[in-house]
A and B are shown apart, each in its own frame.
Chain A
Amino acid sequence: MMSDRELGWMIGAVIGVLVIASIVTWMLSQRLTEERHRDLIGNLVARVKAWWGMILIFGASVLTGGTGTVILFCVLSFFALREFVTLSPTTRGDHRVLIWMFYIITPLQYYFIWDQWYGMYTILIPVYAFLLLPARSALVGETEHFLQRTAITQWALMICVYCLSMAPAILTLNVEGDTAGPAKLLLFLVIVVQGSDVLQYTWGKLLGRHKISPRVSPNKTWEGFIGGIASATLIGTALWWATPFNPWQAATMALIVCLMGFLGGLVMSSIKRDRGVKDFGHTIAGHGGILDRVDSLIFAAPIFFHLARYYFDLA
């Protein structure tokens, strides 16, 4: 168990926000009883409830230190991969490759992160898996759509495993303050990225008029985008004390991860539209699948990890 006053404050603040959200949702459900609001309220209640579950699980895993967090993200990758591959057209010839992806490469990637072996966890997937998995596939001898199928498996691994694993990789950074220092940096990233998602949704529902990309993601509006990203950046700035950044640096980092998160949502939506589905799954009530919830984190984490490590000399 990790005890650190600042870490306690961060988790406490998140729980505080969630308490307020629960109260507001309850008040709304009392006020908006008309039939036309039913779907919105039902969805809101489900979302808030799911947030409680997600934050309790995430908070508990962060407090157990590195091992708990690495295991949690390994499980998330596994489920994300499951959702991704289910929607992608793979064939019988890919079965052996899929076995490698699910049962060997995913656990191995997280083992190297747990082991803090930077030289290995940064290249396992982009180099070793990149070269060896297509070779395994070629050995099966099924050549139809070979490049497309290979692209699918590579993309699945990069998105669902490599990029997502860069979030717990933050715990391997050399931040002052023992294990609590890196944990606070991870929490900073997750709060800003997920906060940005929630705030974009909220601003969009309140003021949204002008759609950004109606074909890809009909719910994204300019009002939601600007309001959500501005307010999430403010939250990030206000959390500078928990990071190695000064307030200006915290603001810049927060802005960058918000923008990356937005792009992540957009890219993953394009994949969903292409496959003709609204969500990747049904695991989290009100949110869709695991992948729907972590799509922004997937795009934000690797950039954040790299910028923090490189520009702030945290290697």
Chain B
Amino acid sequence: MNGFIGAAIAQLARIVSGATIRMPDSGLQKGQAVFFANHTSHLDFVTLWAAIPPSRRTRTRPIAAKDYWDKPGVRHYLINDIFRAILVDRQGGTLRSLREQLDQMTSALDAGDSLIIFPEGTRGEGDTIAPFQAGLHALHRHCPDAHMIPVRLINLNRVLPKGEFIPVPLLSTIVIGEPLPTEEGESRNAFLKRAQHALIELGDQA
């Protein structure tokens, strides 16, 4: 039943976002992955999640904000049973709560799941890519075998901008890139810069 509802939601998300999905020529990289994307709209993670082939979607878990999603009722059901999201507490801000967030993500990786993460941290206006939070690097270091796959979401900020409730049915594009090549002994900042650049370049291609 949950599988059916999930497929229906994925289909609905595709219609609302009118999403054209662009994969690399070689196809979507197989195996465990961390999909990292730009964040501009509430529709982002549902649309990205819907763009992932169904066989892999069930094992791909988005990171979502606990304060928004963990409310009783439909939201609770959707986020836990359908999206199987990892809910993080963004109110904390202390070193300990950051540690906890990271532990939640790494244990999902250890269990073999893939992740969807928005390393800019907060929703932007859609034109630029903000510098990435360090968490992405920590995930990479914890699980170097998981492919770091950049995903550029285009036009979703126009479908549903920040602060609006009714989406306008414009056409969006999801560009899925090649996994970042691994580089030995790279510093944290160099890695984050490289990841950010990969996302910027995907936007220029589109």
Please give the residue numbers on chain A whose beta carbons come within 8 Å of chain B beta carbons, in ascending order.
Answer: 78, 82-83, 85-86, 90, 92, 95, 98-99, 102-103, 281-282
Contacts and interface: CB of A to CB of B under 8 A. Distances in A.
B169 interface: yes
Contacts of A103: 166
Interface string B163-181: 0101011110000000000
B161 A82 contact: no
- Shortest beta-carbon contacts, A-B, top 4: A86-B171, A98-B168, A92-B161, A86-B170
A92 B155 CA distance: 11
B57 interface: no
Interface string B112-131: 00000000000001000000
A282 to B, nearest CB: 7
A90 B158 contact: yes
B171 A99 contact: no
A281 B166 CA distance: 23
B18 A82 contact: yes
A85 B161 contact: no
A83 B171 contact: yes
A95 B161 CA distance: 8
B170 A82 contact: yes
B151 to A, nearest CB: 19
Contacts of B189: none
A198 B13 CA distance: 35
A87 to B, nearest CB: 9
Interface residues of B, number: 14
Interface string B13-47: 00000101000000000000000000000000000
The binding surface of chain B is classed by DSSP as loop
7 contacts: A83-B171, A85-B170, A90-B158, A92-B125, A95-B164, A102-B168, A282-B20
Given A86-B171, A92-B162, 20 more contacts: A82-B170, A83-B171, A85-B168, A86-B18, A86-B155, A86-B158, A86-B170, A90-B158, A92-B125, A92-B157, A92-B158, A92-B161, A98-B168, A98-B170, A99-B166, A99-B168, A102-B169, A103-B166, A281-B171, A282-B20
Contacts of A90: 158
B140 to A, nearest CB: 33
A92 B164 CA distance: 9
Nearest to A101: B168
A90 B171 CA distance: 13
Contacts of B125: 92
Contacts of A102: 168-169
Contacts of A95: 161, 164, 168
A306 B18 CA distance: 35
Given A90-B158, A282-B20, A82 B169 contact: yes
A212 to B, nearest CB: 30
Nearest to B18: A82
A281 B170 CA distance: 11
Contacts of A85: 168, 170
A100 to B, nearest CB: 10
Contacts of B169: 78, 82, 102
- Which has the most chain B C-beta neighbours within 10 Å: A83, A86, A90, A282? A86
A281 to B, nearest CB: 7
Contacts of A99: 166, 168
B203 to A, nearest CB: 15
A76 to B, nearest CB: 14
B127 to A, nearest CB: 10
Contacts of B168: 85, 95, 98-99, 102
Nearest to B126: A92
Interface in B29-81: none
